[in-house]
Structure 1
Amino acid sequence: MITLALPWFILSTTMFISIMLIMSASSWFMIWLSLEVNLLAFIPLALKKHNKYNAESIIKYFLIQASASILIISPIFFHLQSNSKISYLITIALMLKVAAAPTHQWMPALIEGLSWPSTFILMTIQKIGPMLLLPIFMNSYITYIYIYASILIGSLGGFNQLNLRKILTYSSISHMSWFITSMAISYSLWWIYFTVYMMIMATITLTFHMLKAEILPQTLMYNNSSSNIIFSLSFLSLGGLPPFSGFIPKLMVVRQLIEQPSLLLPMTLIMGTFISLFFYIRMLYSYLFAFSSTLTFTMNFHKSSTLLDFINLMGLLSVPLLLIWM
């Protein structure tokens, strides 16, 4: 057990150190090098033994990230002098790294080969470095393209999906539009939004990991009524339904946007959220309907189910309770 835990600890520590270096580096080469260290630390964490689909996914991920890294470092080697050209090139590379639409196609293609812990890292921690660099090169024209494309494709792409990882993938693409918008407003607002998103994703992916769930019908076999309801509400929190945690950062972003002359962007984000919520509600309606034949809720207080309930409740209510306490 110790031999397995030590490499995991070293690689995880390396990932977090690389993120700190990205935040504090003063040279462009050091930033690029930190991104590569972060990538090389994640790949061994994501590998699973005797799984060819996992190996294929990791190879795809490495090739995509390496291609984006070439675009990031190319201005140095090709001596590009135009600030606009550099801005466009690096913005596209960073958006490719975080799987923002329309440069998102690689993520749904490889996500099925990853474990749930690796899925969580890919959708959260691996986005931090590129997102921190985005405001430096953010171009308003190309940024709007990615915002509108991400909210549209992310909201509609999850329809008719049964694979849980793909559902969360399209949800992540939809949230990318909010990430980019909040980052364009301020770093602090982005950190708040991203922290809440990480908390919700941690509860959902940990639940799937403990249940060993891969597709939606598998979650129907978990016969615990209280856990089923709380788990369903976690998805609604991810979609931004009030009064759960996911609603709070969206409200903060919209409040900043409505002070701008144009209301097109906030209205588009809100409509995209409604589409996502419709998808979640439709999905969870059939999920909860499977248990409607039993009118009484049987509370099975097993150790595992109680832990799942606690994990999901923390993701649902931690932010609203913190705001009330403050």
Structure 2
Amino acid sequence: MLMNSTKMMFLMILITTTIMVYSSSSFMMTWMSMEINMISFLPIITKTKKMKDQSMKYFIIQSLSSLTMLLSMIMNLKIKTPINFENLLMLSLMMKMGMIPFHMWIISLMEKLTWMNCLMMNTIQKLTPTLIIPQMINLKLTLMPMMLSLLFAPIMMLKTNSMKKIISYSSIYNSPWMVYSMFISKKMFLMSFSIYMFLNLMLMKKMKSYNIMFLNQITEKNLLTKLNLTINMISMSGMPPMLGFFPKWMILNKMNDLSYLISMTMMISTIISTFIYMKILSSTLMNQTTKKKFFKKKDFNELEIMINFTGLTYFLMLKPN
């Protein structure tokens, strides 16, 4: 993504509106901030004719979810009905985040985006709904949608060969972890979100530099590059002693106090996710190609592998508050 002055301006608006949602105490102000956030993201992703169709799809889905959210607010204020407004609000936020069963739009959109736009879609654009859910929706109401995303997103990952689809399914799987970390405390959320964003940045930077779009392209790389990519992806799944394991362990430790059902579902989904990542990447590591490989020293970064293995150090040194 070419960072000219226009895109820098829209990026600053994105960050500002997210901060506005975080600091706002009014539902209407939150809704307006989300609308400004959505409108400022559209010019960033619109580059080609192919992306204009995808950006229109993004606009329609986000507008529909915003209208549903507004309807829930009006029902809560004006209409005395037995329908709980939290159900409509949860529905609208699930559509905004692209969680199961409203996930198909985000899968097709992410496949057409650039890697840097994918990073923004996975991190900054997921922040606003993640901040709203714990503030306005009861924990019990989130059980079913979050459990669906935790269990089915890793399984759907097994059927695809596209790296962008794999990362988008990984984003759906990690969204409930972010939401429940916000239920625990703001410090926990900031810590887990920062680590998740850092892991996404490292992985997508590699995918962009190596121009990797599909899994079979990793086979053409040398062994050290494959190992680097594999460790980064396994760290995102939460396998110990990687960096991605540390926030998940902290969240699980605290979620036992809130709900045993959620913590059990999180443990099962992490096992499924790690198994599927290993199944996908083991074939990539084992297979070799006859194409000649040129090993460049700059292709392998020992620092990134060391960073991913720092999860064990955090595990031994720190305790959840």
Would you call these one fold, judging by a TM-score over 0.5? Answer: yes
1:66 shift after superposition: 0.6
What one-letter code is carried by the residue in structure 2 that aligns with 1:190? F
2:34 aligns to what SS in structure 1? Answer: helix
Distance 1:23 1:82 in 2: 30
1:272–1:325 distance in 2 versus 1, CA, 3 Å: closer
The aligned counterpart of 1:68 is 65
1:180 shift after superposition: 2.5
1:12–1:6 distance in 2 versus 1, CA, 3 Å: same
Matching of residue 316 in structure 1 with residue 308 in structure 2: yes
Matching of residue 59 in structure 1 with residue 56 in structure 2: yes
1:300 shift after superposition: 3.4
Paired residues of 1:245 and 1:320 also in contact (CA < 8 A): yes
TM-score by length of 2: 0.89
Gaps of 5+ in 1: none
The aligned counterpart of 1:29 is 28
What one-letter code is carried by the residue in structure 1 that aligns with 2:143? Y
The aligned counterpart of 1:256 is 254
1:128–1:4 distance in 2 versus 1, CA, 3 Å: closer
Gaps of 5+ in 2: none
Distance 1:291 1:142 in 2: 48
1:34–1:227 distance in 2 versus 1, CA, 3 Å: same
Mapping of residues 1-326 of structure 1, within 5 Å: 5-49=4-48, 51-52=49-50, 54-77=51-74, 79-81=78-80, 85-222=84-221, 224-259=222-257, 263-291=260-288, 300-303=295-298, 305-306=299-300, 309=301, 312-313=304-305, 316-317=308-309
Distance 1:244 1:152 in 2: 21
1:10 shift after superposition: 0.8
1:32–1:243 distance in 2 versus 1, CA, 3 Å: same
TM-score by length of 1: 0.87
Paired residues of 1:91 and 1:138 also in contact (CA < 8 A): yes
Task: Please give the root-mean-square deviation of Cα atoms over the aligned residues, in Å.
Answer: 2.6
Moved more, 181-190 or 266-275: 181-190
1:82–1:25 distance in 2 versus 1, CA, 3 Å: farther
What one-letter code is carried by the residue in structure 2 that aligns with 1:130? P
1:141 shift after superposition: 3.4
Q: Please give the per-residue CA displacement for 1:91-117, whole angstroms capped at 9, x wherever unaligned.
A: 221121111222223212322111111
Paired residues of 1:21 and 1:31 also in contact (CA < 8 A): yes
Q: State the identity as a percent.
A: 26
Distance 2:66 2:181 in 1: 24
1:75 shift after superposition: 3.9
1:31 shift after superposition: 1.1
1:160 aligns to what SS in structure 2? Answer: coil
Moved more, 130-139 or 243-252: 130-139
